[in-house]
Amino acid sequence: MDDKISGRVWGFGDDINTDLMYPHICYTLPEIDRPKYTMWANRPGWASQVNRGDIIVAGRNFGVGSSRPAAANLVGLGIVLVMAETVNGLFMRNAVNSGLPVLRMDGITQWIAEGDIIQVDFQNCTVTREQDGSVREFNRIPDLLMNIVRSGGIIEVLRSQGYIDSEPL
């Protein structure tokens, strides 16, 4: 992951739960087909519109729900960052462990709207809205988590530590 990313924003509201991001049908599908069903109950057709490098900006309580790999579906679609007013702790862990950074920012939904282009600088902890150059700061992601994101997720961390069996199940 680069220290600076830039992407187009998709806007979502409050309480976007894991079951919306990862409907139960995904459990029975081959891995490559699972992301196509992301948000199929609340925003049918959205998954096919997402481009690699896009960003989600959402309201309160993003990711409430189960331990299912909801973040992995977002990564599969090409989403590179989630920003929300507040984020469920389990979703945040799963995102980081899938290599997807997540930022909490009060007032983000009042400032950034769908279609905006934003630049995020993880070194300086700033978000810039391209259209007017306005800048806001965010709290630094703890090193423990950022190192997992930079490694490409927890599996890659475990692989580098020699914990992964080269023979699949």
Partner 1 sequence: MEPGDIVTVSVDRVILLDIAGQHPELIQNPPARVFDPSKISVVFDHFVPAPNVEMANGTAKIRKLVKRLNLNDFYDYGSGGIAHAFAAESGWFYPGQIVANTDSHSVAAGAFNMLSRGLGTPELMQVMCTGKTWFAVGETLKVDLSGKLSGMSEAKDVFLKMAGDLGDMPNMNIEFAGDGVMALNMDQRTVISTMCAELSVEFAVFPGDEVLRSYVQERGVQEYSPVSPDPSASYAGAYQLDMSEVVPMAALPDSVAGNTRPVDDIQGIKVDQCTIGSCANGKLSDLEVAARILKGRKVHPGTRLIVTPATQSIYLRGMELGYIPTIVKAGAIVTNPTCGSCMGGHMGLLADGETAITSTTRNFKGRMGSRDARIYMASSATVAASAVAGEIVSPSSIPGGS
> Given the rule CB under 8 A, which residues bind partner 1?
15, 17-20, 23-24, 27-29, 31, 40-42, 60-61, 64-67, 69, 72, 86-90, 93-94, 97-98, 139, 142, 144-145, 153-155, 157-159, 161-169
Q: Which is closer to partner 1, CB of 21 or CB of 81?
A: 21
Angle at 98 between CA 81 and CA 18, to 5 degrees: 75
The tokens 């391209």 sit on which residue?
130
Measured distance CA(119)–CA(8) in Å, rounded: 9
What does the DSSP assignment read for 99-125?
T--EEE-TTHHHH--TT-EEEEETTTT
The tokens 């409907």 sit on which residue?
23
The tokens of 144 are what?
A: 């423990």
Q: Which is closer to partner 1, CB of 7 or CB of 68?
A: 68
Q: Which is closer to partner 1, CB of 45 or CB of 168?
A: 168
Q: Which is closer to partner 1, CB of 7 or CB of 77?
A: 77
The tokens of 53 are what?
A: 């490098």
